[in-house]
């Protein structure tokens, strides 16, 4: 299956909103935490699959700025899944994944913050795929952060007002230096962006699927890539 896949137009940057863990579990009479656990497995599968397909950048929405509103036990469960993923730092060398965690990390537990720093440092030379894990991430917060940085430079007299343009805001995002997102896949049946990569997705193709995230696999991924390749992107042109 994997080897015979041929596609002429591959997205450089794919974003995934991994939705439907809770419902996947509820449909099976299982606790939501189990859905997240299976979601973490699906995440690992998809990183490997994206790498196999030659996708340069993958950004996954692991935890939004709004997700703190969930019961504390569920929040702890998701953070623990992230901990166990990050703990496997050695695997990154083997798997050749360059990992970054994007979002407002200041609100995270100290141990998690340290793990993130370590994993980012340990994976810096990996060039198989660039993985961004969006954690305590919000698209509007990210744009506001970039605007504040530009305003700071303006107030310091480093730049003129006219120099604050789209490129400068892009450069102030967590994803600075990375290509815009070409394709966003959202599982779980909802058709919205939920504050994910708002600036970077200006021209992204959006694919919404009813598949719940724990069920999402390489075949689903390939289907989305084929649909992406079949779409005509005009980027405002004709
Ligand atoms: C959305 O499903 C999913 C989340 C808010 C958490 C995503 C987390 C993981 C996939 C596991 C940890 C991630 C990593 C990177 C190791 P939902 O709970 O909103 O599902 P529902 O809409 O069916 O309730």
Which tens digits make up the pLDDT trace of 21-34?
999 999 999 999 99
Phi, psi at 32, each rounded to 5°: -55, -35
Burial of 236 (0-12, 13-18, 19+ CB in 10 A): exposed
| Ligand 1 pocket, CB under 6 A | 18-23, 36, 39-40, 43, 60, 62, 67, 78, 81-82, 85, 133, 188, 213
User: Which pLDDT value is given to residue 4?
Assistant: 62
Q: What percent of the chain has pLDDT over 70?
A: 96
Specify the DSSP class assigned to residue 106.
G
Residue-averaged pLDDT of the chain = 94
Q: What's the pLDDT band for 89 if we cut at 50, 70, 90?
A: low
Residue 1 has pLDDT above 60, yes or no: no
CA of 65 to the centre of ligand 1 (A): 13
Within 13 Å, how many C-alpha atoms sit on residue 165's CB side? 4
Residue 106's Cα: distance from chain center in Å? 19
pLDDT at 5 over 80: no
If you search the block for the tokens 């042109």, which residue do you land on? 237
Q: What pLDDT, on the 0 to 100 scale, is given for residue 92?
A: 67
For the entire predicted model, the pTM comes to: 0.95
Give CA–CA dist 126/97, Å, rounded: 6
How much is the average pLDDT of 50-78?
A: 97
């Amino acid at each position: 299956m994997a080897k015979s896949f041929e596609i002429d137009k591959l997205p450089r940057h794919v974003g995934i909103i991994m939705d439907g863990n809770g419902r996947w579990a509820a449909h099976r009479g299982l606790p939501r935490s189990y859905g997240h656990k299976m979601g973490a497995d699906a995440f690992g599968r998809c990183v490997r699959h994206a790498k196999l397909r030659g996708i340069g950048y993958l950004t996954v929405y692991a935890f939004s700025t709004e997700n703190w509103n969930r019961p504390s036990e569920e929040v702890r469960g998701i953070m623990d899944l992230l901990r166990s993923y990050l703990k496997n730092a050695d695997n990154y060398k083997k798997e050749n994944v360059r990992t970054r965690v994007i979002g407002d990390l200041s609100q995270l537990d100290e141990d998690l913050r340290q793990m993130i720093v370590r994993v980012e440092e340990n994976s810096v030379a990996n060039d198989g795929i660039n993985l961004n894990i969006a954690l305590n991430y919000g698209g509007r917060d990210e744009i506001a952060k970039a605007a504040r940085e530009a305003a700071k430079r303006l107030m310091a007299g480093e730049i003129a007002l006219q120099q604050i343009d789209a490129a400068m805001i892009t450069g102030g995002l967590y994803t600075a230096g990375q290509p815009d997102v070409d394709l966003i896949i959202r599982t779980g049946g909802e058709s919205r962006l939920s504050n994910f990569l708002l600036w970077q997705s200006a021209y992204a193709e959006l694919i919404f699927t009813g598949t719940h995230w724990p069920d999402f696999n390489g075949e689903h991924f390939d289907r989305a890539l084929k649909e992406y390749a079949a779409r005509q992107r005009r980027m405002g042109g004709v």
